[in-house]
Chains A and B, each alone.
Chain A
Amino acid sequence: MNFEFSSEQNLLRDQAKSFLADKSPLRVARQVLEGESSHDAELWRSIAAMGWTATTIPEKYHGLGLGQLELCVIAEELGRALSPVPFSSSVYMATEALLLGGSEAQKEALLGKLAQGEAIGCMALAEQAGSLSPNSIQSTVSTGKLTGTKLMVADGDLADFAVVLAKSGDDCSLYLVDLNGDGVERETVATMDPSRSHARISFTAAEADLLGTAGDGFQLLAGVLDHAAVLYAFEQVAGAEACLDMAKEYALQRYAFGRPIASYQALKHRMAQMYVACVLARSNCYYGAWALSTRAAELPVAAATARVSATQAFKMCAEENIQIHGGMGFTWEFDCHLYYRRHKLLAVNIGSESFWKDRLITRIEAQKAAA
């Protein structure tokens, strides 16, 4: 048993930390949030140059062939920095979808470009508010042509291709669609967190290439989401810890009634609770990371546990961080809202806390039935 990252992985963490401190301070997230661009293209190029986009792609597809633990380390640091890049869409999801379900030809065509950061992939899933289920999907593929509209596609306006969930007959499948091809119209949409770009995409008889087995769309998607859940959880737990640090620093230097507000028990106890939530989430993340890296049978349970725990921690810490900052926390100028926005975005864009809790119990029930 060994519950820590290795010294090589910690070295990678230190590198990532200082790289992002230099290239992606919060100011960079704020620039994208306040500006017109969809992401920081320069930062994206440097991230690709560091090889982060190639982390888990096997060497035969021109990747680095490193493990999932290395990716977890990177996810954590990107989450802390709120880096405005399409990393989660392209790496946690599109790359993973190809690795899990891609044919040899599909992998050959795309993985090399993904590794270099030359191609950016995204996932196009939801079509309406409410939970994602076969009945909520209207997009249809017939004779290789996709028609339908997808909402809130993360990085959909800048990505080169999308992994799209659509119906063919009664069942759903995943398809690869070139977003620069014919029959694709995309429009950037206003969101709660403009530091990460989202689009509405309408497909009209766009060329669609089946990914994985026909009719197994939800099953393949479950695998991709489990993978993404662990990495999202690392981003979330780091975001939560960043909020706690901010709150603590502010509370120590802000005085009210003749003493630092950090000396009032109401705030001390609130920060103690924030700390507890962070520790529980971090420990669950480590379990998720281990399950991911070994493709352990426990992965479905471990991923859901990490995801729920980290969503809870980030929510509590982002909300209370504003509270502890008082009026300053409610200003545009202070950075509290950057985390508050990101927490809510991450909390829903691969399924809500309640969705993952239900999934968790379903999976525990499956374990019990198998035992």
Chain B
Amino acid sequence: MDFNDTQQEADFRQEARRWLEENAPKMADVKATDPIERAQAWQMMKYQAGWACLRWPKEYGGRGASAVESSIFSEEEGRVSVPVGAFTIGQGMAAPTMMQYASEEQKKQYLPRLASGEDIWCQLFSEPAGGSDLAALTTRSVRDGDDWVINGQKIWTSGAHYSDYGIMVTRSDPTVPKHKGLTYFFLDMKSAGIEIKPIKQISGDSNFNEVYFTDVRIPDSQRLGKVGEGWAVSMTTLMNERAAIAGGGPGLLSFEGAYALASELQIDDAPATQDRAVRNQLADWYCKESGLKYTFARTQSALSRGDTPGPENSIGKLVSAKKSQEIASFCIDLMEMVGASLSPEAGPYGGQFQNAYMGSPGGRIAGGSDEIMMNIIAERVLGLPQDIRVDKEVPFNEIPTGNK
């Protein structure tokens, strides 16, 4: 057991740090003000120097580095101030799915542009009738010559309005049981027949959308996996999603963020950090973060062997989403009577915890809700029985639907 860097890892860290310290300041010269364009500019700098998507093979725009090296780079990148962008879905979810299912030619065409940040991808999975129960989706795909014709509606599609491509699951056969009639594609978001309508979230922002499909044509060559096997392909995407969004390093809604706030506020004329109840609560979050950090470290060895991330990744997302919400709520409480203010007088962080609190419920729903995560752990890790299902062996078009 050794939690220190090996000599090789220490050298790698040194090299990464040197490059970051030399290049991160160059972001000051980038004129763009749009956060996505700024993130793209930084991603391109990394790509050109061989620091993008480190674990991908070189021919697809990566560096062929190990899992450990990749997280060393992320740690070091976390220390410098650079824009982070809209690449989680493309690089973290679409790319691993493409690596497994796309043709060699397609991988060479699309993956480097994902690594460089030139292309942004979105995930067209959820539908009004299929969220947790993703396999209840109804968007139809019908084969027509060399193409497929798509009709239906997706919902909650993050970033659809600025994405170049999308990954999507569709129903190609409604007459067989629900998991068997699905087919998976990737498509150009500029295709004719796509209409995107923003949805306003509880925070007031609009990061996700409804996406309507009217006779949209996708070439059969853009099908990933066999016809009717879209469920298995989706699982590859979702397993990677849970790994990609499991993070939660230093940031506002972390032990450090809460400690920083508490040390600037007073309880009974003493710093809030001296209050025993506050200290207990802070310690609780510290232990959770530490537990997640070292759980991640333990699973890294599995990843460096090239394994698909397993169901244990559900822990990270489950624990950190709830923790974020708790931290935001607790920090607002610390501000006492001005806590609900979004104006600068709300204290040193001027509304940041309040806004984060409004964003935090999303984390417990997106990418598999808390309840779905607990089901996954119970069934796939602990081997407990599946929930009783009334829909499994029935042809899809005979399954009862509620008020959806």
Whether the Cβ atoms of A272 and B374 lie closer than 8 Å is yes
Q: Enumerate 30 A-B pairs (CB-CB under 8 Å) in ascending A order.
A: A1-B5, A1-B6, A2-B1, A2-B301, A3-B1, A3-B3, A248-B383, A252-B384, A252-B385, A259-B385, A265-B371, A268-B382, A271-B378, A272-B378, A276-B318, A280-B315, A280-B319, A283-B290, A283-B291, A283-B293, A283-B295, A284-B287, A287-B3, A289-B1, A290-B2, A309-B287, A357-B283, A357-B284, A358-B280, A361-B273
Which chain A positions have C-beta within 8 A of B18? none
Whether the Cβ atoms of B301 and A4 lie closer than 8 Å is yes
Given the interface pairs A5-B1, A272-B377, A284-B294, the reply to whether A263 lies near B286 with Cβ below 8 Å is no
Least distance between B330 CB and chain A CB atoms (Å): 15
Given the interface pairs A357-B283, A358-B280, the reply to whether A248 lies near B384 with Cβ below 8 Å is yes
Which chain A positions have C-beta within 8 A of B227? none
Chain A 260-274: CB-based contact to B (< 8 A → 1; otherwise 0)? 101101011101110
> Which of B2, B284, B385 contacts A1, CB < 8 Å?
B2
Which chain A positions have C-beta within 8 A of B286? 305, 360-361, 364
Q: How far is A304 from B276 in the complex, measured between Cα atoms in Å?
A: 16
Which chain A positions have C-beta within 8 A of B386? 263
Where the two chains meet, the residues of B that have a C-beta atom closer than 8 Å to any C-beta of A are: 1-6, 9, 68, 259, 273, 276, 279-280, 282-284, 286-288, 290-295, 297-298, 300-301, 312, 315, 318-319, 371, 373-375, 377-379, 381-388
Q: How far is A279 from B291 in the complex, measured between Cα atoms in Å?
A: 8
> Which of A267, A276, A284, A291 contacts B377, CB < 8 Å?
A276
> A201 in the interface, Cβ–Cβ < 8 Å?
no
Whether the Cβ atoms of B2 and A2 lie closer than 8 Å is yes
Least distance between A180 CB and chain B CB atoms (Å): 40
Q: How far is A260 from B382 in the complex, measured between Cα atoms in Å?
A: 15
Chain A 336-371: CB-based contact to B (< 8 A → 1; otherwise 0)? 000000000000000000101110110011000000
Whether the Cβ atoms of A279 and B280 lie closer than 8 Å is no
> A210 in the interface, Cβ–Cβ < 8 Å?
no
From A354, A357, A358, residue with most partner B Cβ within 10 Å: A357
> A164 in the interface, Cβ–Cβ < 8 Å?
no
Which chain B positions have C-beta within 8 A of A281? 291
Whether the Cβ atoms of A263 and B276 lie closer than 8 Å is no
Contact count A vs B, C-beta below 8 Å: 144
Whether the Cβ atoms of A312 and B290 lie closer than 8 Å is no
> Which of A1, A251, A279 contacts B68, CB < 8 Å?
A1
Q: How many residues of A contact B (CB 8 A)?
A: 49
Q: How far is A289 from B2 in the complex, measured between Cα atoms in Å?
A: 10
Whether the Cβ atoms of A1 and B9 lie closer than 8 Å is yes
* Nearest opposing residue in chain B for A298, CB measure: B3
Which chain A positions have C-beta within 8 A of B315? 276, 279-280
Q: How far is A263 from B279 in the complex, measured between Cα atoms in Å?
A: 39
> A221 in the interface, Cβ–Cβ < 8 Å?
no
> Which of B298, B377, B385 contacts A4, CB < 8 Å?
B298
Q: What 3 A-B pairs are tightest by C-beta distance, nearest first?
A: A280-B291, A357-B283, A268-B378
Which chain A positions have C-beta within 8 A of B284? 308, 357
> Which of B282, B291, B382, B388 contacts A259, CB < 8 Å?
B388
Q: How far is A290 from B294 in the complex, measured between Cα atoms in Å?
A: 12
Given the interface pairs A360-B283, A360-B286, the reply to whether A269 lies near B387 with Cβ below 8 Å is no
Query: Assuming A3-B1, A268-B382, A276-B319, what are 12 further A-B pairs, CB within 8 angstroms?
Result: A1-B2, A1-B9, A4-B298, A69-B1, A262-B384, A263-B385, A265-B375, A272-B375, A275-B377, A276-B318, A290-B1, A308-B284
> Which of B280, B291, B384 contacts A309, CB < 8 Å?
B291
Which chain A positions have C-beta within 8 A of B291? 279-281, 283-284, 309
Whether the Cβ atoms of A268 and B384 lie closer than 8 Å is yes
> A286 in the interface, Cβ–Cβ < 8 Å?
yes
Whether the Cβ atoms of B1 and A361 lie closer than 8 Å is no
Which chain B positions have C-beta within 8 A of A69? 1
> A188 in the interface, Cβ–Cβ < 8 Å?
no
Which chain B positions have C-beta within 8 A of A309? 287, 290-291
> A293 in the interface, Cβ–Cβ < 8 Å?
yes
Whether the Cβ atoms of B4 and A279 lie closer than 8 Å is no
Which chain B positions have C-beta within 8 A of A252? 384-385
Which chain A positions have C-beta within 8 A of B259? 364
> A6 in the interface, Cβ–Cβ < 8 Å?
yes
Q: How far is A309 from B3 in the complex, measured between Cα atoms in Å?
A: 19
Q: How far is A262 from B382 in the complex, measured between Cα atoms in Å?
A: 10
Which chain A positions have C-beta within 8 A of B301? 2-4
Q: How far is A312 from B290 in the complex, measured between Cα atoms in Å?
A: 14
Q: How far is A47 from B387 in the complex, measured between Cα atoms in Å?
A: 46
Least distance between B298 CB and chain A CB atoms (Å): 5
Whether the Cβ atoms of A3 and B294 lie closer than 8 Å is yes
Which chain B positions have C-beta within 8 A of A248? 382-384
Which chain A positions have C-beta within 8 A of B387? 263, 265
Least distance between A349 CB and chain B CB atoms (Å): 20
Least distance between A273 CB and chain B CB atoms (Å): 7
Q: How far is A284 from B300 in the complex, measured between Cα atoms in Å?
A: 16
Chain A 231-251: CB-based contact to B (< 8 A → 1; otherwise 0)? 000000000000010001001
Which chain B positions have C-beta within 8 A of A244? 382
Which chain A positions have C-beta within 8 A of B279? 357-358, 361
Q: How far is A273 from B374 in the complex, measured between Cα atoms in Å?
A: 7
* Nearest opposing residue in chain B for A283, CB measure: B294
Least distance between B288 CB and chain A CB atoms (Å): 6
Which chain B positions have C-beta within 8 A of A365? 273
Least distance between A172 CB and chain B CB atoms (Å): 23
Least distance between A343 CB and chain B CB atoms (Å): 17
